[in-house]
Amino acid sequence: MRKLILQMQMSVDGYVADENGQTDWMVWNWGEEWNWDAELRRYHNDVAASMDCVLLSRKMAQEGFIHYWATVAEKHDNPQSGFARKITEAQKVVFTKTLNMSEWHNTVLAKGDLAEEVNKLKNISGRNIITYGGATFASSLLQAGLVDELHLIINPSILGSGLPIFDKIRGAQRLSLIHSASYKGGIIVSQYKSRP
């Protein structure tokens, strides 16, 4: 069975964006200047290399995630182009209740029950499945117990308030720490797997 990996950047106090949805407090905010150190970039690229399917919310897709990475993939001198090619080559599954057709290359729509759709994808042979959020979508996946590995990229920032991803969980979800490492720039990455 394929694993679903949720990789999220967040603040020390557990927010993935500020109250207005802004992420300019992150060390790297998915922009042109990739200011993560070489080791952190390697970890990020290795996770991307382990997957062949990306789950997205309708909002994230429509805000330009797929288009952005397709554009970066064509810039071979850009240090993010390897990651961008993985995103572009992977199947994208956009979860939506409102869209009737996909406008994106290599992308299908999932319109059914979240748990049923994700479990169907997990049971198809292939490599890992990954998602990068946003907050509401990540929260729904966690609440439904669908995430097999949780990769938290903790930025050296405290927001005080903002958009969480763990606030809808009712009852304990047990985790085992796979690996934790600190990187230049103050980032800590902690990887967990779910356990029964």
The domain limits of the chain are 4-19+35-181
Confidence at residue 79, expressed as pLDDT on a 0 to 100 scale: 85
The pairing of beta strand 128-131 with beta strand 4-10: parallel
Confidence at residue 87, expressed as pLDDT on a 0 to 100 scale: 93
The tokens describing 172, both together, are 């304990």
Confidence at residue 172, expressed as pLDDT on a 0 to 100 scale: 86
Nearest Cα to Cα of residue 156 among 21, 36, 65, 32: 36
Confidence at residue 35, expressed as pLDDT on a 0 to 100 scale: 83
Q: pTM for the full model?
A: 0.94
Please answer whether residues 152 and 10 qualify as being in contact, where contact means their C-beta atoms are separated by less than 8 angstroms.
yes
Confidence at residue 196, expressed as pLDDT on a 0 to 100 scale: 75
Integer Cα distance of 148 and 1 in angstroms: 11
Nearest Cα to Cα of residue 50 among 5, 105, 80: 5
Integer Cα distance of 25 and 112 in angstroms: 35
Which ranges of the chain would DSSP assign to H, the alpha helix?
38-49, 58-62, 65-73, 81-89, 114-122, 135-143
Confidence at residue 133, expressed as pLDDT on a 0 to 100 scale: 84
Confidence at residue 34, expressed as pLDDT on a 0 to 100 scale: 82
Integer Cα distance of 65 and 93 in angstroms: 12
CATH 3.40.430.10 fits 4-19+35-181, yes or no: yes
Distances 121 to 4, 14, 70 between C-alpha atoms, Å: 9, 28, 23
Confidence at residue 117, expressed as pLDDT on a 0 to 100 scale: 97
Confidence at residue 147, expressed as pLDDT on a 0 to 100 scale: 96
Phi, psi for residue 143 in degrees, rounded to 5: -60, -35
pLDDT block averages, 10 residues each, the chain of length 196: 96 96 88 84 94 95 91 88 92 94 92 96 97 93 95 97 94 93 96 90
